[in-house]
Structure 1
């Protein structure tokens, strides 16, 4: 107990000395423009440092996180300028930091800069640490990245660029379905008329799957009159993935022990059974 008390007293002395040096530095008579900017940077660095001891960790706390329960700290992922990530980043940043009443706008700008990388940081890094600069920074980011048309194009390109499959695997099929739903959902939330895109998206996906999965789909949908729907195609891929997971390594390899026509019949039986 005595050793712990000595350690705490020593730690208090170190903190007090740090605060004293900070106070003396800030109140030094040299107030050139360069030194003022340097003082501002050092001030916010020190504020961030001491917030670890005030809040119990390395980031600002929000009122939404003040609870009798020990909830895990919300982690904000850095934003590097990818337009598809902007909305989720800025929404979380505003919720956790922007609405924190314990922080002034200078501090919010400091934290905003720490969560930006690359092109996004270059856009605002030269703004001085002032209250008005925080608002200006948010506006600059909004003007650059809150572009509905650009975000729609971003998700369409990601759909087109999804990796193709050379062989049938349950993991590959589920990843393809998951990515498709993710981008279609994002496009729907942006107001894109995805309900009319079934044939186009199916055509894209048919170029991504292996030939045996594609053949099995066309055999199952033997009617040439009914146009396939995207939901039906994705359901087929999910069912095929489930069948592959059930049979596992016992699934025969096409072209070896079973003729291709027998292979298709085998897969259809799995899907229907």
Structure 2
């Protein structure tokens, strides 16, 4: 006769199987379960590559990039219901931004007003412009040139330029100013190399002030970026060699010291 323990264990396993089946049906029809894991492994209700959802804390400087990513990944996705989009939106917010939507219930009707309210609160083009220009102006100056320091300067400069383009600013006409600001952050040796590069170009092209339409007269941001990329590649090639030379010198010094010690010991022995 089947014991009470065996019947209880059988009922437990049957219940677990039924519960798993119900959860699977629910997530297929409605929306994924909430949780931190969903943010790192975002997946739409149908088969779709997993994507990391963007996060937003309420910092105005981060709003434009967050808005663009969330719009592309979630808001523009036709396979998600409005309630699902609202759930994902709340999952993506933290700190002051999360407080702003904390008491909003997840329903289809609440998604669009919530999303529009967020855009109205954090979309401040003039503030974004000021933040981007301030970021560019206050980039740290390179004191000792390395490939990684130059790479950081190039990447951050281009990041600000793209942000300004997204704001609709006429960045294409700002080359003189952007070149001037970027060069101010270079180390002394890189600035010297840049001016040498321009002087060499002047000798070859022989531009004149009378012909101010000559593209060789004033350097463009593109030219500066290409120069810095070339310098980064050169530094990346030189650094391993320098390290190798340093290592060889240490080995040579160690070998010389050992040889000298051996000579003294041998002389003493005889």
User: TM-score, normalization: structure 1?
Assistant: 0.63
Q: Are the counterparts in 2 of residues 62 and 97 from structure 1 also a CA contact under 8 Å? A: no
What is the aligned partner in structure 2 of residue 83 from structure 1?
60
Cα displacement (A) at 1:147:
2.8
In the alignment, structure 2 segments of 5+ residues that lack a partner are 1-9, 24-29, 203-207, 210-216, 244-270
Q: How does 1:1-273 map to 2 (within 5 A)?
A: 9=14, 11-12=16-17, 48-49=32-33, 59=42, 61-63=44-46, 66=47, 71=49, 73-98=50-75, 103-222=80-199, 223=202, 226-250=217-241
Greater CA drift, 82-91 or 156-165: 82-91
Cα displacement (A) at 1:77:
1.9
Larger radius of gyration: 2
In the alignment, structure 1 segments of 5+ residues that lack a partner are 1-5, 19-45, 253-273
- CA 1:205/1:129 → structure 2, altered by over 3 Å: closer, same or farther? same
Q: Are the counterparts in 2 of residues 105 and 130 from structure 1 also a CA contact under 8 Å? A: yes
Cα displacement (A) at 1:79:
1.1
CA distance in 2, matches of 1:103, 1:115: 16
User: TM-score, normalization: structure 2?
Assistant: 0.64
CA RMSD of aligned residues (A): 3.6
CA distance in 2, matches of 1:238, 1:99: 36
CA distance in 1, matches of 2:112, 2:223: 47
- CA 1:182/1:17 → structure 2, altered by over 3 Å: closer, same or farther? closer
- CA 1:49/1:242 → structure 2, altered by over 3 Å: closer, same or farther? closer
CA distance in 1, matches of 2:144, 2:180: 18
CA distance in 2, matches of 1:102, 1:181: 35
What is the aligned partner in structure 1 of residue 26 from structure 2?
none
Task: Provide Cα deviations, 1:194-253, integer angstroms capped at 9, x if missing partner.
Answer: 12222222222222111111112122322595322222222221111111122225569x
CA distance in 2, matches of 1:11, 1:161: 59
